[in-house]
């Protein structure tokens, strides 16, 4: 392979529910410590296959633990051009450039009254 060529990468998406521990290896737009959220991990991989151990390790780097319901799917790049999925393009690009990206869905806390 020539020096200017880069290996082909695919981005796999891992959906899960997890709790934020506050022990991330880097600064990111994290949820509050102790909060549990549904999440999507965009993970750049060399092959189009599930890599649950790698996904769990990457979740830990983001400070996510107590992972439940981990599942894997392949992102079809062409859907990022549709109105429905256009908002996910930045996570896809971040995964290609940095190896991963994590999206968490906020839950509304119940009212105290």
How many Cα atoms within 13 Å fall on the side-chain side of residue 110?
2
Domain count, the chain: 1
- Other CB atoms within a 10 A radius of the CB of residue 102 amount to 24
**CA proximity to 103, closest of 29, 48, 9, 50:** 29
Position 111 in a domain: no
Position 74 in a domain: yes
Per-residue model confidence (pLDDT) at position 78:
85
pLDDT (tens digit, 9 = 90+) per residue, 36-95?
999 999 999 999 999 999 999 999 999 999 999 999 998 788 888 888 888 889 999 999
Q: Quote the longest CA-to-CA distance of the chain.
A: 65
Position 59 in a domain: yes
Domain range for 46 is 10-24+32-105
Position 98 in a domain: yes
**CA proximity to 97, closest of 6, 28, 4:** 6
Position 4 in a domain: no
């Amino acid at each position: 392979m020539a020096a200017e060529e880069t290996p082909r990468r695919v981005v796999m998406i891992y959906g899960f529910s997890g709790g934020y521990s506050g022990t991330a290896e880097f600064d990111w737009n994290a949820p509050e410590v102790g909060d549990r959220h549904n999440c999507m991990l965009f993970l750049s991989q060399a092959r189009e296959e599930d890599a649950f151990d790698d996904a769990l390790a990457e979740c830990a780097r983001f400070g996510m633990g107590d992972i439940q319901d981990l599942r894997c799917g392949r992102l079809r790049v062409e859907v990022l051009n549709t109105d429905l999925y256009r908002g996910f393009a930045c996570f896809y690009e971040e995964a290609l450039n940095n190896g991963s990206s994590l999206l968490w869905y906020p839950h509304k806390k119940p009212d105290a009254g």
